[in-house]
Amino acid sequence: MRPLFLVFALAGTLASSLSAAAPSWQNISTDAGRRIELDRTTLKRTGNVVEILSRVTLERELLDAQTGTPYRIIEATTRYDCATRNAKTIRRVYRQSDKETLREEMVPGVELPVRGGTLDDRVLREVCRPPKGDPLALAKAANEAAGDLQAANAAMIKNAVAADQQAVTKKVADTPEASIRPNLKAQVGASSAPLPISPPSQPASAGSLPVVKAPAGATQYAQRSSGQTRGGKAATRPANSAGYMLEVLPASVSALSGRVAWGYEGAGAPANWAQLDARNVVCASGKRQSPIDIRDGIKVDLEPIRFDYRPSTFRIVDNGHTISVNVGDSRFSLTGKTYELDDIHFHRPAEMLINGQRHEMSIHLVHRSLEGAVAVVALLLERGAEHPEIQTLWNYLPLEKNTPVQPPKVVINPGRLLPESAQYYTFMGSLTTPPCTEGVTWIVMKQPVQVSDEQIRIFSRLYRNNARPVQAANERLIKESR
Ligand SMILES: [Zn+2]
Protein backbone atom coordinates (compact mmCIF):
# COMPACT_ATOMS: atom_id res chain seq x y z
CA MET A 1 0.00 0.00 0.00
CA ARG A 2 2.72 2.43 0.97
CA PRO A 3 4.73 2.23 -2.31
CA LEU A 4 1.58 2.81 -4.33
CA PHE A 5 0.70 5.83 -2.24
CA LEU A 6 4.21 7.17 -2.80
CA VAL A 7 3.83 6.85 -6.55
CA PHE A 8 0.57 8.80 -6.44
CA ALA A 9 2.09 11.43 -4.20
CA LEU A 10 5.06 11.78 -6.54
CA ALA A 11 2.85 11.90 -9.61
CA GLY A 12 0.76 14.59 -7.92
CA THR A 13 3.83 16.64 -7.02
CA LEU A 14 5.23 16.22 -10.51
CA ALA A 15 1.98 17.25 -12.16
CA SER A 16 1.63 20.33 -10.02
CA SER A 17 5.26 21.35 -10.45
CA LEU A 18 4.96 20.82 -14.18
CA SER A 19 1.94 23.03 -14.44
CA ALA A 20 3.66 25.63 -12.29
CA ALA A 21 6.80 25.43 -14.43
CA ALA A 22 5.08 25.83 -17.77
CA PRO A 23 4.90 29.58 -18.36
CA SER A 24 2.03 31.09 -20.28
CA TRP A 25 3.68 33.61 -22.54
CA GLN A 26 1.90 36.70 -23.73
CA ASN A 27 3.44 38.53 -26.65
CA ILE A 28 3.78 42.27 -26.00
CA SER A 29 6.00 43.26 -28.91
CA THR A 30 7.51 41.87 -32.09
CA ASP A 31 9.92 44.05 -33.99
CA ALA A 32 13.49 44.40 -35.24
CA GLY A 33 14.20 40.70 -35.12
CA ARG A 34 13.03 40.00 -31.59
CA ARG A 35 9.88 39.10 -29.70
CA ILE A 36 9.18 40.21 -26.15
CA GLU A 37 6.81 38.15 -24.01
CA LEU A 38 5.58 38.24 -20.44
CA ASP A 39 4.34 35.51 -18.17
CA ARG A 40 1.63 37.31 -16.20
CA THR A 41 1.09 34.29 -13.95
CA THR A 42 4.43 35.16 -12.33
CA LEU A 43 3.52 38.80 -11.68
CA LYS A 44 3.97 39.89 -8.07
CA ARG A 45 2.97 43.42 -7.14
CA THR A 46 4.04 45.15 -3.93
CA GLY A 47 3.02 48.79 -3.95
CA ASN A 48 4.80 50.38 -6.86
CA VAL A 49 7.11 47.42 -7.40
CA VAL A 50 6.29 44.70 -9.89
CA GLU A 51 8.27 41.51 -10.28
CA ILE A 52 7.71 39.49 -13.45
CA LEU A 53 9.21 36.83 -15.68
CA SER A 54 9.73 37.97 -19.25
CA ARG A 55 11.66 36.69 -22.20
CA VAL A 56 13.16 37.84 -25.47
CA THR A 57 13.38 35.56 -28.47
CA LEU A 58 15.92 36.67 -31.06
CA GLU A 59 15.71 36.05 -34.76
CA ARG A 60 19.48 35.71 -34.96
CA GLU A 61 21.50 33.64 -32.53
CA LEU A 62 24.02 35.29 -30.25
CA LEU A 63 27.10 33.57 -28.91
CA ASP A 64 27.33 33.23 -25.15
CA ALA A 65 30.66 34.73 -24.10
CA GLN A 66 31.00 32.32 -21.18
CA THR A 67 30.31 29.05 -22.95
CA GLY A 68 30.85 29.96 -26.61
CA THR A 69 27.46 28.35 -27.33
CA PRO A 70 24.73 30.06 -29.34
CA TYR A 71 21.47 31.10 -27.71
CA ARG A 72 18.27 32.68 -28.95
CA ILE A 73 16.15 33.09 -25.86
CA ILE A 74 16.86 35.10 -22.75
CA GLU A 75 14.45 34.77 -19.86
CA ALA A 76 14.70 37.21 -17.01
CA THR A 77 13.01 37.72 -13.71
CA THR A 78 13.08 41.46 -13.14
CA ARG A 79 11.77 43.82 -10.51
CA TYR A 80 10.42 47.09 -11.93
CA ASP A 81 9.72 50.12 -9.79
CA CYS A 82 6.83 51.88 -11.52
CA ALA A 83 7.35 55.05 -9.49
CA THR A 84 11.07 55.57 -10.00
CA ARG A 85 11.33 53.75 -13.36
CA ASN A 86 14.19 51.66 -12.04
CA ALA A 87 14.75 47.99 -12.78
CA LYS A 88 16.76 45.23 -11.29
CA THR A 89 17.15 41.80 -12.82
CA ILE A 90 17.30 38.98 -10.33
CA ARG A 91 17.76 35.93 -12.49
CA ARG A 92 18.56 35.32 -16.14
CA VAL A 93 18.32 32.11 -18.17
CA TYR A 94 19.92 31.64 -21.57
CA ARG A 95 18.27 29.09 -23.85
CA GLN A 96 18.95 27.67 -27.27
CA SER A 97 15.28 26.77 -27.61
CA ASP A 98 12.20 26.37 -25.42
CA LYS A 99 13.56 23.05 -24.23
CA GLU A 100 17.31 23.53 -24.17
CA THR A 101 18.75 25.62 -21.36
CA LEU A 102 22.29 26.81 -21.84
CA ARG A 103 22.86 28.34 -18.44
CA GLU A 104 21.21 30.22 -15.63
CA GLU A 105 22.60 33.06 -13.61
CA MET A 106 21.59 34.95 -10.53
CA VAL A 107 22.34 38.59 -11.21
CA PRO A 108 24.09 40.59 -8.52
CA GLY A 109 23.96 44.34 -8.68
CA VAL A 110 21.76 47.30 -8.11
CA GLU A 111 18.66 48.92 -9.50
CA LEU A 112 19.31 50.86 -12.67
CA PRO A 113 17.23 53.54 -14.36
CA VAL A 114 15.27 52.23 -17.35
CA ARG A 115 16.11 54.15 -20.49
CA GLY A 116 13.37 55.04 -22.94
CA GLY A 117 13.04 52.84 -26.00
CA THR A 118 14.77 49.83 -24.46
CA LEU A 119 13.32 46.36 -24.00
CA ASP A 120 12.97 47.05 -20.29
CA ASP A 121 11.08 50.19 -21.09
CA ARG A 122 8.61 48.07 -23.08
CA VAL A 123 8.09 45.65 -20.21
CA LEU A 124 7.93 48.37 -17.59
CA ARG A 125 5.25 50.27 -19.46
CA GLU A 126 3.29 47.05 -19.88
CA VAL A 127 3.40 45.97 -16.24
CA CYS A 128 3.04 49.46 -14.80
CA ARG A 129 0.03 50.33 -16.95
CA PRO A 130 -2.94 51.06 -14.71
CA PRO A 131 -5.78 48.52 -14.88
CA LYS A 132 -8.89 49.37 -16.96
CA GLY A 133 -11.34 51.79 -15.44
CA ASP A 134 -8.61 53.25 -13.32
CA PRO A 135 -9.15 56.89 -12.39
CA LEU A 136 -5.81 57.61 -14.00
CA ALA A 137 -7.29 57.27 -17.48
CA LEU A 138 -5.72 60.55 -18.46
CA ALA A 139 -2.33 59.31 -17.44
CA LYS A 140 -2.91 56.17 -19.45
CA ALA A 141 -3.76 58.18 -22.51
CA ALA A 142 -0.56 60.11 -22.04
CA ASN A 143 1.29 56.85 -21.75
CA GLU A 144 -0.17 55.59 -25.01
CA ALA A 145 0.69 58.83 -26.72
CA ALA A 146 4.22 58.28 -25.53
CA GLY A 147 4.04 54.77 -26.94
CA ASP A 148 3.04 56.12 -30.34
CA LEU A 149 5.89 58.54 -30.18
CA GLN A 150 8.17 55.66 -29.27
CA ALA A 151 7.02 53.72 -32.32
CA ALA A 152 7.57 56.74 -34.53
CA ASN A 153 10.98 57.15 -32.96
CA ALA A 154 11.84 53.51 -33.59
CA ALA A 155 10.81 53.80 -37.23
CA MET A 156 12.91 56.90 -37.56
CA ILE A 157 15.95 55.20 -36.01
CA LYS A 158 15.45 52.34 -38.42
CA ASN A 159 15.54 54.78 -41.33
CA ALA A 160 18.58 56.46 -39.88
CA VAL A 161 20.28 53.10 -39.59
CA ALA A 162 19.49 52.31 -43.21
CA ALA A 163 20.84 55.70 -44.26
CA ASP A 164 23.90 55.24 -42.09
CA GLN A 165 24.46 51.84 -43.57
CA GLN A 166 24.34 53.18 -47.11
CA ALA A 167 26.87 55.76 -46.10
CA VAL A 168 29.08 53.02 -44.66
CA THR A 169 28.83 50.95 -47.82
CA LYS A 170 29.76 54.00 -49.82
CA LYS A 171 32.76 54.93 -47.73
CA VAL A 172 33.32 54.14 -44.08
CA ALA A 173 35.20 57.38 -43.52
CA ASP A 174 32.21 59.40 -44.70
CA THR A 175 30.16 58.55 -41.63
CA PRO A 176 29.93 61.61 -39.39
CA GLU A 177 32.55 61.50 -36.68
CA ALA A 178 30.15 63.32 -34.39
CA SER A 179 28.10 60.16 -34.06
CA ILE A 180 30.91 58.39 -32.24
CA ARG A 181 30.75 58.55 -28.50
CA PRO A 182 34.13 59.65 -27.24
CA ASN A 183 34.37 57.45 -24.20
CA LEU A 184 35.21 54.12 -25.77
CA LYS A 185 36.31 52.73 -22.46
CA ALA A 186 32.84 53.13 -21.00
CA GLN A 187 31.47 51.49 -24.10
CA VAL A 188 33.41 48.33 -23.41
CA GLY A 189 31.56 47.93 -20.14
CA ALA A 190 28.23 48.98 -21.54
CA SER A 191 28.17 46.28 -24.15
CA SER A 192 24.47 46.56 -24.63
CA ALA A 193 24.30 50.32 -24.86
CA PRO A 194 22.35 51.44 -27.88
CA LEU A 195 24.36 52.38 -30.93
CA PRO A 196 25.32 56.02 -31.21
CA ILE A 197 23.22 56.77 -34.20
CA SER A 198 22.14 60.33 -34.49
CA PRO A 199 18.98 60.52 -36.55
CA PRO A 200 18.97 63.29 -39.16
CA SER A 201 16.24 65.18 -37.33
CA GLN A 202 14.87 64.86 -33.83
CA PRO A 203 11.12 64.61 -33.36
CA ALA A 204 9.44 66.51 -30.57
CA SER A 205 11.18 64.99 -27.56
CA ALA A 206 9.13 62.68 -25.36
CA GLY A 207 10.05 64.91 -22.47
CA SER A 208 7.99 67.71 -23.99
CA LEU A 209 4.77 65.67 -23.79
CA PRO A 210 2.24 67.14 -21.42
CA VAL A 211 2.90 65.40 -18.14
CA VAL A 212 -0.32 64.41 -16.43
CA LYS A 213 -0.30 65.38 -12.80
CA ALA A 214 -1.21 62.29 -10.84
CA PRO A 215 -2.37 62.46 -7.24
CA ALA A 216 0.47 62.42 -4.73
CA GLY A 217 1.81 58.93 -4.21
CA ALA A 218 0.26 57.62 -7.42
CA THR A 219 2.29 56.35 -10.27
CA GLN A 220 3.13 58.81 -12.98
CA TYR A 221 2.96 57.28 -16.39
CA ALA A 222 4.31 60.01 -18.56
CA GLN A 223 7.02 58.78 -20.87
CA ARG A 224 10.47 60.21 -20.37
CA SER A 225 13.16 60.35 -23.00
CA SER A 226 16.25 58.28 -22.39
CA GLY A 227 18.52 61.06 -21.26
CA GLN A 228 16.20 62.37 -18.58
CA THR A 229 15.23 61.42 -15.13
CA ARG A 230 12.27 62.52 -13.09
CA GLY A 231 13.59 65.97 -12.28
CA GLY A 232 14.69 66.58 -15.84
CA LYS A 233 18.29 66.08 -14.74
CA ALA A 234 20.50 64.13 -17.11
CA ALA A 235 20.80 60.50 -16.08
CA THR A 236 24.24 59.03 -15.82
CA ARG A 237 24.67 56.00 -17.99
CA PRO A 238 25.46 52.98 -15.84
CA ALA A 239 29.01 51.66 -16.16
CA ASN A 240 27.68 48.28 -17.17
CA SER A 241 24.35 46.71 -17.84
CA ALA A 242 24.56 43.80 -15.41
CA GLY A 243 21.36 44.98 -13.78
CA TYR A 244 19.42 45.12 -17.01
CA MET A 245 17.67 42.05 -18.05
CA LEU A 246 16.37 42.00 -21.46
CA GLU A 247 18.50 44.68 -22.90
CA VAL A 248 20.72 42.27 -24.74
CA LEU A 249 20.05 43.49 -28.22
CA PRO A 250 18.56 46.94 -28.67
CA ALA A 251 16.49 47.44 -31.80
CA SER A 252 19.11 49.56 -33.52
CA VAL A 253 21.66 46.81 -32.99
CA SER A 254 19.67 44.03 -34.55
CA ALA A 255 19.04 46.36 -37.47
CA LEU A 256 22.79 46.77 -37.89
CA SER A 257 23.73 43.20 -37.13
CA GLY A 258 25.46 41.54 -40.04
CA ARG A 259 24.87 44.51 -42.33
CA VAL A 260 27.45 47.09 -41.34
CA ALA A 261 31.11 46.32 -41.96
CA TRP A 262 33.50 46.72 -39.04
CA GLY A 263 36.01 49.50 -39.20
CA TYR A 264 37.45 52.30 -37.10
CA GLU A 265 34.91 55.08 -37.61
CA GLY A 266 31.17 55.57 -37.94
CA ALA A 267 28.65 52.80 -37.31
CA GLY A 268 31.32 50.12 -37.71
CA ALA A 269 33.64 51.69 -35.10
CA PRO A 270 35.35 49.60 -32.38
CA ALA A 271 32.75 50.49 -29.73
CA ASN A 272 30.12 48.76 -31.89
CA TRP A 273 32.05 45.70 -33.03
CA ALA A 274 30.32 43.35 -30.60
CA GLN A 275 26.95 44.50 -31.88
CA LEU A 276 27.71 44.09 -35.57
CA ASP A 277 27.92 40.31 -35.52
CA ALA A 278 27.00 37.64 -32.97
CA ARG A 279 30.48 36.18 -33.36
CA ASN A 280 32.06 39.40 -32.07
CA VAL A 281 30.47 39.26 -28.62
CA VAL A 282 33.82 38.85 -26.86
CA CYS A 283 34.97 42.23 -28.27
CA ALA A 284 32.77 43.74 -25.55
CA SER A 285 32.54 41.04 -22.89
CA GLY A 286 36.12 39.72 -22.97
CA LYS A 287 38.41 40.26 -20.01
CA ARG A 288 41.66 39.64 -21.91
CA GLN A 289 41.28 42.06 -24.78
CA SER A 290 44.00 43.83 -26.75
CA PRO A 291 45.55 46.31 -27.17
CA ILE A 292 46.49 47.46 -23.68
CA ASP A 293 48.69 50.09 -22.13
CA ILE A 294 51.75 48.04 -21.17
CA ARG A 295 52.88 49.07 -17.69
CA ASP A 296 53.92 47.55 -14.36
CA GLY A 297 55.46 44.49 -15.97
CA ILE A 298 57.47 42.16 -13.79
CA LYS A 299 61.11 42.18 -14.90
CA VAL A 300 62.51 38.69 -15.26
CA ASP A 301 64.94 36.73 -17.42
CA LEU A 302 62.72 35.90 -20.36
CA GLU A 303 63.75 33.09 -22.64
CA PRO A 304 65.01 34.53 -25.93
CA ILE A 305 62.67 34.07 -28.88
CA ARG A 306 64.31 31.89 -31.50
CA PHE A 307 63.31 33.58 -34.75
CA ASP A 308 63.76 31.49 -37.86
CA TYR A 309 62.68 34.12 -40.38
CA ARG A 310 63.87 33.55 -43.96
CA PRO A 311 63.94 35.60 -47.16
CA SER A 312 60.92 34.85 -49.28
CA THR A 313 58.74 36.18 -52.06
CA PHE A 314 55.58 37.80 -50.78
CA ARG A 315 51.97 38.56 -51.49
CA ILE A 316 50.62 41.97 -50.48
CA VAL A 317 46.97 43.00 -50.23
CA ASP A 318 45.00 46.03 -49.08
CA ASN A 319 42.17 44.19 -47.31
CA GLY A 320 40.16 47.29 -46.43
CA HIS A 321 41.40 47.29 -42.82
CA THR A 322 45.16 47.33 -43.29
CA ILE A 323 47.99 46.35 -45.63
CA SER A 324 48.56 42.64 -45.13
CA VAL A 325 51.58 40.67 -46.31
CA ASN A 326 52.08 36.91 -46.54
CA VAL A 327 55.50 35.31 -46.74
CA GLY A 328 56.55 31.66 -46.79
CA ASP A 329 58.76 29.61 -44.56
CA SER A 330 59.25 31.74 -41.42
CA ARG A 331 58.65 30.77 -37.82
CA PHE A 332 59.79 31.25 -34.25
CA SER A 333 59.96 28.97 -31.27
CA LEU A 334 59.45 29.71 -27.62
CA THR A 335 59.11 27.43 -24.60
CA GLY A 336 59.17 24.33 -26.81
CA LYS A 337 56.43 25.50 -29.18
CA THR A 338 56.87 26.49 -32.82
CA TYR A 339 54.71 29.18 -34.39
CA GLU A 340 54.56 29.64 -38.18
CA LEU A 341 54.42 33.20 -39.53
CA ASP A 342 51.00 33.62 -41.07
CA ASP A 343 50.51 37.32 -41.74
CA ILE A 344 52.33 40.62 -41.42
CA HIS A 345 50.23 43.79 -41.19
CA PHE A 346 50.40 47.40 -40.12
CA HIS A 347 48.61 49.72 -37.71
CA ARG A 348 48.69 53.49 -37.49
CA PRO A 349 49.10 54.65 -34.82
CA ALA A 350 50.57 51.74 -32.84
CA GLU A 351 47.86 49.96 -30.86
CA MET A 352 49.83 48.98 -27.75
CA LEU A 353 50.93 51.82 -25.49
CA ILE A 354 54.11 51.65 -23.40
CA ASN A 355 53.54 53.45 -20.10
CA GLY A 356 50.95 55.62 -21.79
CA GLN A 357 53.23 56.44 -24.74
CA ARG A 358 52.04 55.76 -28.25
CA HIS A 359 54.31 55.08 -31.22
CA GLU A 360 53.72 56.27 -34.78
CA MET A 361 52.91 52.85 -36.17
CA SER A 362 53.27 49.16 -35.42
CA ILE A 363 53.76 45.94 -37.32
CA HIS A 364 51.96 42.79 -36.21
CA LEU A 365 53.55 39.50 -37.18
CA VAL A 366 50.76 36.97 -36.61
CA HIS A 367 51.84 33.38 -36.00
CA ARG A 368 50.01 30.11 -35.53
CA SER A 369 51.22 26.89 -33.97
CA LEU A 370 50.31 23.50 -35.41
CA GLU A 371 47.79 23.16 -32.57
CA GLY A 372 46.17 26.44 -33.62
CA ALA A 373 47.55 28.66 -30.85
CA VAL A 374 48.02 32.26 -31.97
CA ALA A 375 51.07 34.37 -31.06
CA VAL A 376 51.55 37.92 -32.30
CA VAL A 377 54.96 39.60 -32.37
CA ALA A 378 54.42 43.36 -32.31
CA LEU A 379 57.04 45.82 -33.51
CA LEU A 380 56.84 49.48 -32.52
CA LEU A 381 57.74 51.92 -35.29
CA GLU A 382 59.22 55.34 -34.65
CA ARG A 383 60.10 58.19 -37.02
CA GLY A 384 63.69 57.97 -38.25
CA ALA A 385 65.63 56.37 -41.07
CA GLU A 386 63.93 54.81 -44.07
CA HIS A 387 63.34 51.10 -43.64
CA PRO A 388 64.46 49.09 -46.71
CA GLU A 389 62.12 46.10 -46.22
CA ILE A 390 59.11 48.36 -45.70
CA GLN A 391 60.13 50.37 -48.77
CA THR A 392 60.09 47.16 -50.81
CA LEU A 393 56.55 46.47 -49.59
CA TRP A 394 55.41 50.04 -50.27
CA ASN A 395 56.86 49.79 -53.80
CA TYR A 396 54.31 47.08 -54.47
CA LEU A 397 51.27 48.56 -52.70
CA PRO A 398 48.20 47.33 -54.59
CA LEU A 399 46.25 49.89 -56.56
CA GLU A 400 42.92 48.30 -55.65
CA LYS A 401 41.52 47.01 -52.38
CA ASN A 402 41.21 43.22 -52.08
CA THR A 403 43.33 42.70 -55.17
CA PRO A 404 46.62 41.08 -54.09
CA VAL A 405 49.94 41.79 -55.74
CA GLN A 406 52.49 38.99 -55.87
CA PRO A 407 55.73 40.10 -57.56
CA PRO A 408 57.39 36.91 -58.82
CA LYS A 409 61.06 37.77 -58.27
CA VAL A 410 61.04 40.22 -55.38
CA VAL A 411 62.17 38.96 -52.00
CA ILE A 412 61.79 40.41 -48.50
CA ASN A 413 63.43 39.18 -45.33
CA PRO A 414 61.05 39.50 -42.38
CA GLY A 415 64.07 38.94 -40.11
CA ARG A 416 65.29 42.40 -41.12
CA LEU A 417 62.11 43.95 -39.70
CA LEU A 418 63.13 42.90 -36.19
CA PRO A 419 64.99 45.29 -33.86
CA GLU A 420 68.54 44.55 -32.68
CA SER A 421 67.59 44.08 -29.08
CA ALA A 422 65.96 40.77 -28.21
CA GLN A 423 64.15 42.24 -25.19
CA TYR A 424 60.38 42.03 -25.13
CA TYR A 425 57.15 42.29 -23.12
CA THR A 426 54.78 39.34 -23.03
CA PHE A 427 51.22 38.82 -21.81
CA MET A 428 47.96 37.19 -22.87
CA GLY A 429 45.45 39.08 -24.98
CA SER A 430 43.24 38.92 -28.02
CA LEU A 431 43.10 39.71 -31.70
CA THR A 432 42.70 43.49 -31.99
CA THR A 433 40.15 43.12 -34.80
CA PRO A 434 36.80 41.29 -34.85
CA PRO A 435 36.05 38.66 -33.66
CA CYS A 436 38.56 39.73 -30.92
CA THR A 437 39.36 36.09 -30.10
CA GLU A 438 41.23 35.68 -26.81
CA GLY A 439 43.99 33.26 -25.90
CA VAL A 440 46.54 35.13 -28.03
CA THR A 441 50.13 35.26 -26.74
CA TRP A 442 51.49 38.77 -27.28
CA ILE A 443 55.19 39.45 -27.66
CA VAL A 444 55.94 43.16 -27.96
CA MET A 445 59.56 43.91 -28.84
CA LYS A 446 60.88 46.64 -26.54
CA GLN A 447 63.20 48.39 -28.97
CA PRO A 448 61.38 50.43 -31.61
CA VAL A 449 62.21 50.10 -35.29
CA GLN A 450 62.75 53.19 -37.44
CA VAL A 451 60.71 54.17 -40.48
CA SER A 452 60.93 57.38 -42.44
CA ASP A 453 58.52 60.25 -42.38
CA GLU A 454 57.69 59.54 -46.01
CA GLN A 455 56.97 55.87 -45.27
CA ILE A 456 54.56 56.83 -42.49
CA ARG A 457 52.89 59.35 -44.81
CA ILE A 458 52.38 56.72 -47.49
CA PHE A 459 50.59 54.41 -45.08
CA SER A 460 48.55 57.33 -43.70
CA ARG A 461 47.24 58.03 -47.18
CA LEU A 462 45.63 54.59 -47.05
CA TYR A 463 44.89 54.26 -43.32
CA ARG A 464 44.88 57.38 -41.22
CA ASN A 465 43.69 55.48 -38.19
CA ASN A 466 43.36 51.72 -37.91
CA ALA A 467 44.15 51.26 -34.24
CA ARG A 468 41.65 49.79 -31.81
CA PRO A 469 41.44 51.85 -28.59
CA VAL A 470 43.24 50.56 -25.52
CA GLN A 471 41.30 47.97 -23.52
CA ALA A 472 41.22 47.34 -19.78
CA ALA A 473 44.23 45.31 -18.60
CA ASN A 474 42.14 43.74 -15.79
CA GLU A 475 45.09 42.83 -13.57
CA ARG A 476 46.82 40.99 -16.38
CA LEU A 477 50.24 39.65 -15.65
CA ILE A 478 52.81 41.33 -17.89
CA LYS A 479 56.34 40.01 -17.99
CA GLU A 480 59.28 41.91 -19.47
CA SER A 481 62.91 41.15 -20.20
CA ARG A 482 65.24 42.79 -17.69
ZN1 LIG B 1 47.07 43.81 -35.90
For the chain, give every domain's residue range: 25-281, 293-481
The dihedral sign for the CA sequence 472, 476, 480, 482: positive
Q: Which residues are in the CB-under-5-Å shell of ion ligand 1? A: 364
Residues linked to residue 357 through DSSP beta bridges, in sequence order: 354
Cα–Cα distance for residue pair 71/103, rounded to 1 Å: 10
How many angstroms does the Cα of residue 230 sit away from the middle of ligand 1? 46
Active site residue 367: no
How many angstroms does the Cα of residue 369 sit away from the middle of ligand 1? 18
Question: 263: closest CA among 361, 143, 173?
Answer: 173
How many angstroms does the Cα of residue 374 sit away from the middle of ligand 1? 12
How many angstroms does the Cα of residue 317 sit away from the middle of ligand 1? 14
Cα–Cα distance for residue pair 245/120, rounded to 1 Å: 7
pTM score, two decimals?
A: 0.52
CA–centroid distance for 124 within its chain:
26
* pLDDT tens, per residue, the chain with 482 residues: 454 544 444 444 444 444 456 788 888 887 767 788 889 889 999 888 999 999 988 877 777 666 767 788 888 888 888 888 888 888 888 888 888 888 888 776 667 767 666 678 788 888 887 665 555 565 565 566 566 666 666 666 566 556 555 544 444 333 333 232 333 333 333 333 333 333 333 333 333 333 333 334 333 333 333 333 333 333 333 334 444 556 554 434 445 666 789 999 999 999 999 999 888 999 999 999 999 999 999 999 999 999 999 999 999 999 999 999 999 989 999 989 999 999 999 999 999 999 999 999 999 999 999 889 999 999 999 999 999 999 999 999 999 999 999 999 999 999 999 999 999 999 999 999 999 999 999 999 999 999 999 999 999 999 999 999 999 999 999 999 99
What fold does the segment set 293-481 form as a domain?
Carbonic Anhydrase II (3.10.200)
The dihedral sign for the CA sequence 117, 120, 125, 126: positive
Q: Which of 321, 345, 347, 387 is catalytic?
A: 321
CA dihedral 196, 287, 377, 367 (to 10 degrees): -100
How many angstroms does the Cα of residue 129 sit away from the middle of ligand 1? 51
How many angstroms does the Cα of residue 362 sit away from the middle of ligand 1? 8
How many angstroms does the Cα of residue 336 sit away from the middle of ligand 1? 25
